[in-house]
Structure 1
């Protein structure tokens, strides 16, 4: 929000946020209208449900739509390749092939899945906060 008679984010003087948004190129404000494009749920195997554009699907067609949506939502080609390879391996060789050797019969712990050692310890956070407040 801009105060009256202050400079706007665009660098021009304005009298209200509406005025400044018009100067920034926002134009007229329109009410938001949600456009529901449907839903997709892939539960693995042939268990899937999707409702693209209001058309109800179940089974393999729903799985194809759900996976297509998921795949297209991935941002990088590396991620798309990894996911597609995993799906193809699972389809050809089964679920057990993809998981072979994972965790090697060890109990699963959070640090096995995430790089928890990359987080600061509580002591490091306190030292950082105290160091920052001293500089102020």
Structure 2
């Protein structure tokens, strides 16, 4: 038997977004200091997700992190679309991020510098990551 839900009661609830307040990473001094919220918190989440290898750490869910380390030695014609797909897959797990777009690639000797734009609920910003290829 399925319980009946009072539709009138269900319509009175207001869903509030969860705050994105988190600890601020001071990357220059390798320490945590204070808090951040809004765009800074999303930028930090992008940074952490792209530098955390998926499936490597038991503390994280299998939905968290990126899979950018397995591209070393692959053909460059397959690396570009695969990097794009893997970055999108890693970042779109965060419900604050709507879209990842405008990818640009710069290849040096063994590194691919990827720059992209992130559209989030709190703002639009540019980010980058380096991938060993």
State the TM bucket, normalised to the shorter chain: under 0.3
By relative contact order (CA 8 Å, sep 6+), the higher-ranking structure is 2
Bigger Cα Rg: 1
Q: Provide TM-score, normalisation by structure 1.
A: 0.21
The structure that is strand-richer by fraction is: 2
Q: Provide TM-score, normalisation by structure 2.
A: 0.22
The structure that is helix-richer by fraction is: 1
